[in-house]
A and B are shown apart, each in its own frame.
Chain A
Amino acid sequence: MRAFLWRRGDWEPGTTFPPPEVADGEVIHLIADGESPVNALSLESIEELERALDEIAGETGVRAMVISSAKVGHFIAGADIDEIGGITDPEEATRLATLAQEVFGHLGRLPFPSFALIHGTCLGGGLELALGCNYRIAVSSPSTKIGLPEVNLGIIPGFGGSQRLPRLIGVAKALPLILAGSRLPAEVALRRGIVDAVVPPEGALGIGLRAVKKIVEDGGAQVAKQRLRHRGGWRHRLLEGNPIGRALLARGARKQVLAKTGGHYPAPLAAIDLVVPAASRTLGAGLAVEAKVVGLLAVGPVCKNLVRIFQASERARKYSGPEEGDRGRWPRPGFLGVLGAGVMGAGVASAALDRGLAVRLRDIAEEPLSRGLAQIAGDVRQQVERRRRSALEGEEILSRLTHGTEPIGFGRCDAVLEAIVERMDVKQRALREIEPQLRDDCLFLTNTSALSVTELQGSAALPERVVGLHFFNPVSRMPLVEVIAGRQTAPWAVSRTIGLAQALGKYPVLVQDSPGFLVNRLLMPYLDAAVRLLESGVPGPVIDSAAKRFGLPMGPMRLIDEVGVDIGVEVAETLHAAFGDRATPSTFLGRLVEKGWLGRKTGVGFYRHPQGKGSTVWNEGIGGCIDSPRRALAEAEIVAALIDPMVDEAARCLEEEVVSSAETIDLALVMGTGFPPFRGGLLRYADTTGLAEIVARIEGSDSERTPSSLLAELAQEGATFYGPNAMTVDVV
C-alpha cells in the first residue's frame, strides 16, 4: 500500500470548476491524499512528490500547477512526528531534510508557476512545502492554520522553512513566528505576507483558480509589488538590511528566549542563528546549514523528550475511553450544569462557555453566585478587550449561561459537575438533591481532589453515572484533568467524561479512585521534602531557585503559597491518614497557619505578596521559625532531595495500578504541574538519572520513606520505567 498519494487532475465534476475561461489541461491539479488523515509528510511521500514533479515538468501546454489537499480540515499538517521521533542518526535526518529542501525547491523551478491552495492545517513541513511553491493562496476558514511550530518539538524548520520564510517576509517578521511556533489564520497570514491571496471556503477551488489565472496573466507583477511592501521600508533597512541591525535583532531575540526557557531548549537558539542571516547569504548555503542543524537537534534528548510528550498528549487528546460506541460519546457541544460558583466552579463554567457549551451555574446563596458570574463575565470581557473575541461573540458566549440559587433547571443537562466544599456529607446531599431531575444518561461529576468517588456513589440512585473529574487551578491555564472511575462507574460514563474533558480542550488521564489521585499524591512528598530542607537550614529562596533552574515553573514554597498553606496541610493530613508513616508531614506548615500566613490569599506565606503592583519577596519572618543553622547544599542535591520521593511515590502508583503506565504519569506531571517537558516527565527523568542512584539516596536519607518494591526491583535489575518490560495496566 502507498503511504501517500499525489493524485492528478479530476477537477470536481458538477461544480462550476474549472471556470469556463480556463482551458482543459492548462492548469495541473495535484492533490495530496495520503494515508495519514492529516496528510503528514513522510520520506516516502516526499519521494513520491519528486517523481510526480519530474513527470509534470515534461508536459506541454501547461500554464500553472495547483497543489491542494483531499483532506477535510487539513492541507498538510506537518512532517510525520513518529518518523522524527524514530530518527537516531543525525546524518539520516540531514539526508531527509536535504531531500525535502530539494523537492520543495523544485516546486518553485518548474517551467510554469506553482500554487499551494491551503485549506486546513498547513504547519511545519506543510508550510515549508507551500513556501517552495511560487505562490500561496489560503482559504479563509476556521480550520486554516498556517505556521512553523517545529521549535515546540525541539527542532527547527528543516525543510527549507527557516530560510525561505525570512527571505519572503523579512527576518524581523519571520523570527517571532518561528520562535513562538504561532499558527496563523488565513487573513493574518495574508497580512504578514506569508500567503499572496485569500479566497472564501465556498467554491474555493473555483475562486482559487480565478486568482491563479490573474497572477499567471500578469506574470506575478502585482504579487511581487505586494511582497516588496512587506519587506521594504526604513525599518527593514535599519534592522535586517545591515549587519549591525541583524546583530541587534539576534541579541534581543536571544535574550527573550533565554528569559523564557532558562537555556534548557537548544532549538530556539539554533533558530535565531539560522533565521537572522537567512536573507544575507545564498539560499543554498543557508539550506545546507539548516539541514545539518536539524539533523543534530532531531537526535538530541530534548527533541526526543518533547516528541514523546507530544505523542502522549495526542493519545490523551484522542483517547475515547473504555466505551467506544455512541453511548460513550460526549454530545457536542453539550450542556453542563455546575454546582458551586467558587473559583473552581466558575472557572470550569467559563472554560465550558468558551468552548461552546451551554452552562447552568448554581450556588446556594446570592453572594457567591454573583461573584462567580462576575468572574465568568470578567473572563469574557478580557477576551473582548484583547480582541481575541468580537463584542458579538462575547455576547453569544454569555448568552449560553443561566444561573440560579435553587436546585432546579438541570433536566436538560448532559452532565452536572459539583465544585462545592470538600466534605463528603455536603457532596452527598448535593447529589441526592439534584439527581431526581437528571436524565438517565446525564453524568454526575465530582471535582473532588481527595474524597472517594466510590463512597459518593453510595448516595446515588444511579451510581454508574458518578465520575470524578478533577480540574486544576486556574482552570483556563491548566491543561490536565484527572478522570476518576469509582467502583460502580459504568464504562459509558467514563468515556463520556473523557469526551467532555476533550471538548473543554483538556488532556484527560484516567486515574484509580485512591487518595490524592495522581498529581496531588505525587506533589505532596515533593512539597514536604522542600519544607524539610528548609527546616534543616537550607534557605527557602535557594530551594525555590534550584527547582526553577531544574525547569519547574515555580519553586515548591511559592507553589504552597499559591495553593494556600492551609489547603496544603489539609491534603497532607488526608494522605498521611491514607499512606501512613512515609507520608508523615512536617509540622512546619501548621506553624504558618497559626500565624495566619496562608499564602497569596492572605498576602503572606513563605513570601510576601503585595496587593497590586510590587514584586513578591521572601518572607523574612520564616527565618524565626527555623532552629537549625543555615547550611549550604549543592543545587543537584536539592533537586535530588525534592524529586526522589516523587519518583518513589510514582513507582507506588504504578505498582498499585493507580494509572496505566509511566507515560500517563509523565504526561500528567507535565500538563498538571508544569514538570519540565524537555526532561520528558518525571519517570523519563528518573530513568535518565539512574534508578539505582535514586534508591541509594532514598535509603541513605533520614526520612521514613523506603524505596517501593517496584523501584527497588527495577534498580536491582538495572532496568528502567520505560524499559522493554514497562508495565501497562487497565485502570477501569
Chain B
Amino acid sequence: MASDVAVVAGLRTPFARAGADLDPVPMRELGRAVTRELLDRTGVDPATIDEVIFGCAGQPADTANPARVIALRSGIPEEVPAYTVARNCASGMEAFTQGVEKIRSGRAQTVLVGGVESMSRFPLQYPRSFAQKSASLARARNLAEKLIGVLAYRPRDFKPVITILEGLSDPTTGEIMGLTAERLAREFSISRDEQDAYALRSHQRAVAAREFLAGEIAPVAIPPLYSERLGVDVGPREQQSLAALAKLRPYFDRRNGTVTVGNSCPVTDGAVALLLMSSERAKAEGLRPLGRVLGHAYRGLDPLRMGLGPVHATVPALKEAGVSLADLEVIELNEAFAAQVIACARAFGSKSYGESLGLSGAIGELDFDRLNPNGGAIAVGHPVGATGARLVLTVLRELERRGGGLGLATLCIGGGQGGSVVLEGMPS
C-alpha cells in the first residue's frame, strides 16, 4: 500500500524584488539559510534524510546541481544524495511532488524538498558570436591571424544577452510571458480596472497578513557585513492604491495592452524548504505534521495560453484526491499576472471550458474569498523556482490556522503547463 505523505514542517526566506534587499545573497546561500533553520527548528537528525530535492529554474554556472550544494552547506551528511529539478515556474512544486512520490513508493521515508531562485543573479551573457570570434582569436598563431581575429568583432558582438528576459520568454514561440497574459485578457475580456483592483487586493491582503507570514519566514543575514537581518517580504506596499496603479503604462503591449508592472508579479529572490515524511516516520519521530498530500497533477496546454495551466492541472488533481472545487477551504493560485488569475477564475466557472476538458459542465466557481487569502505573488513576489513550494507552505499554514480542511496549491508554468497539489491541513 502506498505510504501516506506528511508535510512535517516548512520555512521560507523573505521574498525580495530582484536587485533589492536580497541581491547580495547568492542563490545557494538563500537555500542554505532556510534549510539549516528548518533543520534546527524541527530538530530532525540530518542523517535520517533519504534525499534532498530542490527546484531551480535558472541554475547559475558556479552552482551546478544547487540541491547538492545546499545540502552539503546545510550540514546534511555527504552520504545523503541530492538533485535539482527544473519545470520552469513549477520547479519548486516539482521538487515537492517528486519527494511525495519517493515516499509514496516506499523508496524514501524522509525527504527534504524546496525551491530556490535568485533572479538578481541571472547573468548577462556574451552573445554566441562573441564567443565564436574569441575562440578563433585564441587559436591565432601569428600576428596577422591575431589582427584578423581582432578586426572580426562588431559592436553587436558585445551587446549582452539579458538571460532573465530570455528565461521569461516562451522558448518555442519567443513570446514574452506578459504577452500571453495580454492574450488571456483579450480573450476573457478582462479590463485594466479589474486587473488593477485585483492587484490592489493582493497588496492589501499581504500587508494585513504580515504577522501571519512572518511565521513562515526564516530571517536572512545580509552579506557581506551581516549587520542586518531581513525578516519580512519586501514586496507588499501599504501605500498601494488604484490611482497609483492606474498611472502605470502597459509594459508589454504599449499600444493596446492592459498588463502593467503593477498588476504583474515582480522578478524576485527567495527560497523555500519543506520537510516530508511518511506518516509512520513522522509519528515515530514524534512530529506533528502540518498536513498531508491527497493528490497532484501536471498538464500541458497551448504555450501561448500558459496562464490557464492551473485549470487544466486542477481537474485531474481533484479527481485523484476525490474532492471537488467546492470542498476546498483555501486556494493558493499563483499570481503571475492579475489577468491570468482572473482568466483562470472565469475558465473554472465556464461550462464551455469545462466541456472542452471533457467534463459534463463547469469545474466550479472559484470563490475569491478563499483565493489567496494572504495575498499572492503580485505583492509577495515570484522567485520562479521557489514559488511552487511556497504555495504548498502557505496553504498548509492557512489551513492550520483555520483548524484544518482541504486546500489547493496551483500555478501556471511558462512553456504551457499547469501544476496542482491537493492538500489536507491539520489543526494546530
Contacts and interface: CB of A to CB of B under 8 A. Distances in A.
Chain A interface mostly helix, strand, loop or mixed? helix
A225 B98 CA distance: 62
B329 to A, nearest CB: 28
A370 B224 contact: no
Contact of A373 (B32, B41, B227): B227
Contact of A409 (B37, B74, B225): B37
A437 B29 CA distance: 27
Contacts of B43: 409, 411-412, 437
Interface in A389-409: 395-396, 398-400, 402-404, 408-409
Ranked nearest first, the 6 interchain pairs of A and B with the lowest CB-CB distance are: A411-B43, A377-B226, A409-B40, A374-B227, A373-B226, A399-B73
B219 to A, nearest CB: 7
Nearest to B220: A403
Contact of A381 (B36, B39, B224, B229): B224
A400 B75 contact: yes
B344 to A, nearest CB: 38
A403 B42 CA distance: 15
B221 interface: yes
B106 interface: no
A366 interface: yes
B229 A370 contact: yes
A360 B218 CA distance: 13
Given A409-B40, A409-B41, A403 B75 contact: no
Given A360-B40, A376-B226, A437-B43, 7 more contacts: A358-B75, A370-B226, A373-B227, A377-B223, A377-B225, A402-B37, A412-B39
Nearest to A408: B41
B25 to A, nearest CB: 12
Interface in A472-524: none
Given A399-B73, A400-B75, A412 B228 contact: no
B47 to A, nearest CB: 11
B229 A374 contact: no
A403 B32 CA distance: 13
Interface string A347-379: 000000000001010000010011101101110
26 contacts: A369-B229, A370-B226, A370-B229, A373-B229, A374-B226, A374-B227, A377-B223, A377-B224, A377-B226, A378-B225, A396-B73, A398-B223, A399-B36, A399-B74, A402-B33, A402-B36, A402-B40, A403-B229, A409-B40, A409-B43, A410-B40, A411-B40, A411-B42, A411-B43, A412-B45, A437-B43
Contact of B40 (A366, A395, A412): A412
B45 A404 contact: no
B45 A403 contact: no
Contacts, number: 62
A402 B221 CA distance: 9
Contacts of B36: 399, 402
Interface in A405-450: 408-412, 437
Given A400-B75, A403-B221, A371 B227 contact: yes
A399 B220 CA distance: 12
Contacts of A371: 227
A374 B73 contact: no
Contacts of A369: 229
Interface in B14-40: 29, 32-33, 36-37, 39-40
Contacts of B223: 377, 398
A395 B72 CA distance: 12
A606 to B, nearest CB: 32
Contacts of A376: 226
Nearest to A409: B40
B41 to A, nearest CB: 5
Contacts of B74: 399
A380 to B, nearest CB: 9
Contacts of A366: 229, 231
Nearest to B70: A399
Contacts of A404: 37, 219
A332 to B, nearest CB: 14
Interface string B223-257: 11111110100000000000000000000000000
Nearest to B75: A358
A189 to B, nearest CB: 31
B336 to A, nearest CB: 32
Nearest to A377: B226
A402 B33 CA distance: 7
Contacts of B39: 412
Contacts of B41: 408-409
B73 to A, nearest CB: 4
A104 B43 CA distance: 57
Interface in B26-74: 29, 32-33, 36-37, 39-43, 45, 73-74
A442 to B, nearest CB: 11
Contacts of A378: 225
A595 B362 CA distance: 82
Contacts of A412: 39-40, 43, 45
A671 to B, nearest CB: 30
A699 B46 CA distance: 64
A377 B219 CA distance: 16
A308 B304 CA distance: 82
**Which one of B226, B227, B229 has the highest number of Cβ atoms from chain A below 10 Å of its Cβ?**
B226
**Which one of A370, A371, A399, A411 has the highest number of Cβ atoms from chain B below 10 Å of its Cβ?**
A399
Interface in A600-644: none
B231 to A, nearest CB: 8
A240 B120 CA distance: 57
Contact of B228 (A370, A395, A398): A370
Nearest to A410: B40
Contacts of A399: 29, 32, 36, 73-74
A316 B327 CA distance: 68
A370 B73 CA distance: 22
A411 B231 CA distance: 22
